[in-house]
């Protein structure tokens, strides 16, 4: 409570903008110090081809409209952006495979947007780091100084907080925990070009891959055999019905996650690991297996000590809030 009051104090009558840049859409919101989203808007990310300038111009126009809608013109303290491959130090979005206008170049996103916005400062980081800041400012990690945020979406991302600060590393790219190796031999091909990465198994797409592999390897009956193009949501639905194959897929996924987490704990000894993202919604089938593998594999000093918690932010607002939280530090 005290912290919140402090936060309100120095931000009285000032507001921030949070922007979550995804491969398909970009979500914009005007946020107050309590984490309430006063106005929001969505534009496409993927209709500008390779023309980064055109996208930034359209984004700036939409941000201006959103600020107008919120009635807080002239009171915006800063803009925070979470974007794939966003670099906190350089303010660039560089070589992001899922965004055409940034796939083959480094776009000075923060600089361009700030110019279009008449000089309002812009802070940028990758989406998982933004989520970590959001969780620390408004969510499940409030009051924590040491935690690791793991985002389980199309990919697996991470934001690491140590001593109350996001870890950016020497070059701004720290926290790529989706790309630690969890299967050393004959591991699955990962989108990054290597094999055996955590992301290749424990993302939403990884879970769907596991389902397809397992159905092919056995004749065990499963509701999933009736599904045309299996998604992680289908696996969740089947598990809900008690489908044995679906339940085993979550056991496998949770066990790999927990095993990986035990190595993360040896690194930074966090108070908690915070899970976020689409696949985290399957927590009823994952938690037990993650916790078991994590506690089976850590050093004694950490057994049953590190909390596993789930994001407490309203899902639709979480990405905007995470990005906006960056702007308070500007």
Binding interface with its own copies (CB under 8 A): 145-146, 160, 162-163, 165, 167-177, 179-181, 183-184, 192-194, 259, 262-264, 266-271, 297, 299-302, 305
Segments of the chain assigned E as strands: 15-21, 25-31, 37-44, 76-82, 93-94, 106-107, 122-125, 147-152, 156-162, 165-166, 272-276, 307-310
Nearer to its own copies, 184 or 229 (CB): 184
Burial of 288 by CB count in 10 Å (0-12 exposed, 13-18 middle, 19+ buried)? middle
Cβ pair 30, 67 in contact under 8 A = yes
Task: Give me the least distance between CB of 221 and its own copies, in Å please.
Answer: 30
DSSP strand pairing (156-162 vs 106-107): unpaired
Nearer to its own copies, 10 or 267 (CB): 267
Nearer to its own copies, 244 or 266 (CB): 266
Nearer to its own copies, 99 or 318 (CB): 99
Task: Give me the least distance between CB of 3 and its own copies, in Å please.
Answer: 18
Backbone phi, psi, residue 225, to 5°: -65, -20
Nearer to its own copies, 121 or 187 (CB): 187
Task: Give me the least distance between CB of 214 and its own copies, in Å please.
Answer: 19
Nearer to its own copies, 71 or 169 (CB): 169
d(CA 55, CA 148) in angstroms, rounded, equals 32
d(CA 296, CA 253) in angstroms, rounded, equals 16
Task: Give me the least distance between CB of 29 and its own copies, in Å please.
Answer: 29
Task: Give me the least distance between CB of 67 and its own copies, in Å please.
Answer: 33
What angle do helix axes 283-297 and 244-268 make, rounded to 10 degrees? 40
Residue position matching structure tokens 């992301």: 199
Q: Give rounded-to-5 percent helix, strand, coil for the chain.
A: 45, 20, 35
Task: Give me the least distance between CB of 298 and its own copies, in Å please.
Answer: 9
């Amino acid at each position: 409570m005290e912290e919140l009051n402090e936060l309100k104090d120095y931000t009285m009558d000032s507001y921030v903008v949070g922007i979550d840049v995804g491969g398909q859409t970009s979500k914009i919101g005007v946020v107050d110090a309590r984490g309430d989203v006063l106005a929001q808007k969505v534009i496409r990310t993927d209709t500008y081809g390779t023309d980064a300038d055109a996208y930034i111009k359209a984004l700036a126009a939409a941000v201006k409209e959103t600020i107008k809608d919120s009635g807080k013109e002239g009171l915006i303290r800063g803009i925070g952006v979470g974007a794939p491959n966003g670099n906190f130090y350089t303010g660039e979005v560089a070589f992001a495979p899922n965004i055409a206008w940034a796939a083959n170049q480094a776009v000075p996103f923060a600089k361009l947007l700030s110019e279009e916005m008449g000089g309002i400062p812009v802070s940028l980081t990758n989406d998982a780091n933004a989520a970590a800041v959001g969780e620390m400012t408004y969510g499940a990690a409030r009051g924590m100084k040491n935690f690791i945020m793991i985002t389980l979406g199309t990919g697996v991302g991470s934001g690491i907080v140590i001593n109350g600060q996001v870890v950016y590393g020497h070059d701004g790219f720290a926290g790529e925990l989706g790309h630690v190796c969890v299967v050393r031999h004959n591991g699955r091909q990962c989108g990054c070009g290597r094999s055996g990465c955590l992301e290749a198994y424990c993302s939403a797409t990884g879970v769907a891959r596991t389902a397809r592999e397992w159905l092919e390897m056995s004749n065990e009956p499963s509701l999933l055999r009736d599904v045309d193009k299996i998604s992680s949501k289908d696996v969740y639905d089947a598990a809900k019905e008690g489908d044995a194959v679906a339940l085993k897929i979550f056991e496998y996924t949770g066990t790999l996650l927990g095993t990986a987490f035990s190595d993360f704990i040896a690194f930074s000894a966090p108070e908690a690991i915070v899970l976020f993202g689409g696949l985290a919604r399957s927590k009823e089938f994952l938690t037990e297996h993650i916790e078991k593998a994590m506690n089976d594999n850590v050093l004694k000093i950490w057994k049953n000590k590190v909390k596993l918690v789930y994001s407490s932010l309203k899902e639709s607002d979480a990405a905007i809030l995470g990005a906006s939280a960056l702007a308070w530090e500007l």
